[in-house]
Amino acid sequence: MELSRRDLIASVTAGIALSTDSAASTKFVPNLYPGPASIGHRFIDANGLKIHVAEQGTGPLVLLVHGFPESWYSWRHQIPALAAAGYHVVAPDMRGYGGTDAPPERDSYTIMDLVGDMVGIVAALGEKRATIVGHDWGATVAWHAALLRPDMFPAVVAMSVPYRQRGPVPPLRLLRQQGLNTYYWIYYQDVGVADAEYDRDPKDTLRRTLYTFSGDAPHSETNRRILEPGKGALDSTLEPEHLPPWLTESDLEYMASELKKNGFRNPLNYYRNYDRNWQLLAPWAGAVIHQPAFFIAGKEDHVIRGPTGEKQLKDLPTTVPGLKGVLLLDGVGHYVQQERPKEVTAALLDFLRMQNLT
């Protein structure tokens, strides 16, 4: 039975997992995963899901939340470094991705579900709070986790996507009113269209997407997120002559294999709930984030370029009064923690140390 809007809101604000079973599994899975051997892997039960997490270290909990179309693996460079600095680092596969359960219903991917998963993970790990760090869609989840549960998430770091306050009209309707009927968010709405395009060859999808929106692609003023009428999303991307130095064939092979487990439909369902999220977040219209916060992005990232992104970035000190700083990296695109792992990790550690976490 579908939960009502009131039930969804209550489940997050009250910190009640949607499942009564939120205990962490004590059984670690064999380390058959790529990346540093020091990173452990296990499954935990939280918010009604079996969630795969990559994990390392002891100390204050730091939750790393990935974006589209990635997995825990996008944090492969940060996990060992943060663990070595004295933190318990946990990077889940988000719902619908990799080893984590993938509910089939489109409405199971609202912002309330996604934040509820983060709440459930913290509780399942036996903790009461965590610093939450997110990239891309993970940034949206991190901002809203901080907004909805400031008691559990006393500090937040977001990458690539600034905090977006609830607008006056649903976002998809606004795009159509602005004549942006071929914007990729709109293209993603028809179930089975973008899904089929991306699922034909997940490795090709990743290669073209990761390259095109990175800082290694040729600089262009063209907004490749506005698609040509009648064309697919990949038609606006570029085929690299060779992979950028931060991305290897083995990286692509693993990430593609993870996406093949469930396909692209459920990751795309995140986008298909934009207008429903707008409805669910009505009680927080105009709300600001007071916790200590930090924002990191690449200067070549399409998300913060253009009038809308520039305004959101400029407004951060107002919409996030707890903002402690902004780091914009030259020559870097959207996949900032992979493109410049050392700089991102150093910034994360500086921010975490400032919080005096215990």
Whether pLDDT at 16 is above 90? no
- Length, in residues, of the chain: 358
Whether pLDDT at 166 is above 50? yes
Whether pLDDT at 174 is above 80? yes
- Say if 96 falls within a structural domain: yes
Taking CA atoms, 251 is separated from 73, 77, 210, 255, in Å, by 9, 12, 11, 6
Which residue of the set 45, 113, 136, 195 is catalytic? 136
- Residue numbers of the domain that contains 335: 5-166+273-354
Per-residue pLDDT reduced to its tens digit, 144-155: 999 999 999 999
- What's the rounded mean pLDDT across residues 286-310? 95
- Say if 244 falls within a structural domain: no
Per-residue pLDDT reduced to its tens digit, 58-74: 999 999 999 999 999 99
- Say if 193 falls within a structural domain: no
Q: What is the pLDDT of residue 357?
A: 67
**Residue among 332, 331, 320 at smallest CA distance from 294:** 320
Whether pLDDT at 13 is above 80? no
Q: What percent of the chain has pLDDT over 70?
A: 91
Between residues 222 and 214, the one the model is more confident about: 214
Tokens of 301: 């990232």
- Say if 39 falls within a structural domain: yes
Domain at 126, CATH number: 3.40.50.1820
- Say if 35 falls within a structural domain: yes
The count of domains in the chain is 1
- Say if 18 falls within a structural domain: yes
- Say if 17 falls within a structural domain: yes
Tell me how crowded residue 135 is: count the other CB atoms within 10 A of its CB: 30
Buried b / exposed e along 36-65 (16+ C-beta atoms within 10 A): eeebbbbbbbbbbbebbbbbbbeebbbbbb
Known catalytic residue at 113:
no
Known catalytic residue at 136:
yes
- Say if 63 falls within a structural domain: yes
